[in-house]
């Protein structure tokens, strides 16, 4: 499984963390990016190889042309030797650039294509997607399954706890107001106090549930990190 949480966090400061649920997609996209980069690298090598081939071919034509001119007999004596040497040097440079072209195509480009073929496999049915991408998505989803379940419980219990606290504070205000309200009855005050007592119990209950959910999530952390970084 691919993935480096620290890298994601450092390079995606404005985005969600790699560790958050279903935020592994940026990491998975690296698979598709790597496949495309192989294609671009092969294209770049191909273009460079064509430049080398063209330069080699032009040098060879240039050398052949001026050697033929030398054979015409217009130049002879001391001038023919450096003339011929310059043409021979051009042929040597031409051969060197042809060798560069051959290495680029036969060794480097072929090697990149072979590596790409070994590491990436497209599905047979359209739309053709990389099998590795799908596999990584499935692996990450499985790794996050239990964590996601526990995290959802944390969010739920947190919301319930905060709501219970809000209700408690509201009823505390109502009780204070009822005590200072001369028009209020003892029965009304009693009912409000009973509601407050229930709200206080709800605060304790929801707080315990929230703390338990957090503890449960923490016990899952080490396994979660291990599974996400395999």
My answer on whether 99 and 142 are in the same domain is: no
pLDDT at 229: 84
65 domain-assigned: yes
CA distance 154 to 219: 13
pLDDT at 5: 45
How many independent structural domains does the chain possess?
2
Average pLDDT for the chain: 88
106 domain-assigned: yes
Contact indicator for 148, 21 with CB cutoff of 8 Å: yes
My answer on whether 137 and 224 are in the same domain is: yes
CA distance 39 to 123: 18
pLDDT at 7: 38
pLDDT at 12: 45
pLDDT at 2: 38
pLDDT at 79: 75
pLDDT tens-digit readout, 63-93: 999 999 888 776 666 778 888 899 999 999 9
pLDDT tens-digit readout, 136-169: 899 888 888 888 999 999 999 999 999 999 999 9
126 domain-assigned: no
pLDDT, mean of each 10-residue run, the chain (230 residues): 42 65 85 96 98 98 92 72 91 98 98 96 86 90 89 96 96 91 85 94 97 93 86
Domain that holds residue 150: 132-228
31 domain-assigned: yes
pLDDT at 75: 60
pTM of the model: 0.67
Domain harbouring 40, CATH code: 1.20.1270.60
My answer on whether 37 and 64 are in the same domain is: yes
**Cα–Cα distances in angstroms (integers) from residue 129 to residues 34, 65, 120, 151, in the given order:** 13, 53, 10, 31
**Cα–Cα distances in angstroms (integers) from residue 177 to residues 38, 59, 72, 173, in the given order:** 73, 100, 120, 6
């Amino acid at each position: 499984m691919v993935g480096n949480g620290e890298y994601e966090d450092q390079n995606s400061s404005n985005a969600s963390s790699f560790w958050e649920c279903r935020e592994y997609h940026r990491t998975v996209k690296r698979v598709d990016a790597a496949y495309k980069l192989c294609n671009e690298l092969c294209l770049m090598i191909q273009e460079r190889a064509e430049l080398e081939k063209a330069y080699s071919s032009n040098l060879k034509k240039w050398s052949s042309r001026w050697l033929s001119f030398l054979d015409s007999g217009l130049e002879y004596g001391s001038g023919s030797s450096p003339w011929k040497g310059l043409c021979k040097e051009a042929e040597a440079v031409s051969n060197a650039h042809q060798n560069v072209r051959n290495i680029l195509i036969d060794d480097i480009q072929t090697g990149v294509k072979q590596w790409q073929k070994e590491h990436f496999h497209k599905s047979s049915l359209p739309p053709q997607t990389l099998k590795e991408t799908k596999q990584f998505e499935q692996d990450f989803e499985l790794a996050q399954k239990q964590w996601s379940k526990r995290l959802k419980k944390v969010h739920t219990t947190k919301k319930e706890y905060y709501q219970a606290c809000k209700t408690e504070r509201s009823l505390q205000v109502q009780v204070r107001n009822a005590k200072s309200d001369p028009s209020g009855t003892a029965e009304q005050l009693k009912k409000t106090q009973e509601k407050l007592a229930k709200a206080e119990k709800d605060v304790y209950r929801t707080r315990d549930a929230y703390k338990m959910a957090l503890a449960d999530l923490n016990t899952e952390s080490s396994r979660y990190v291990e599974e996400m970084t395999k």
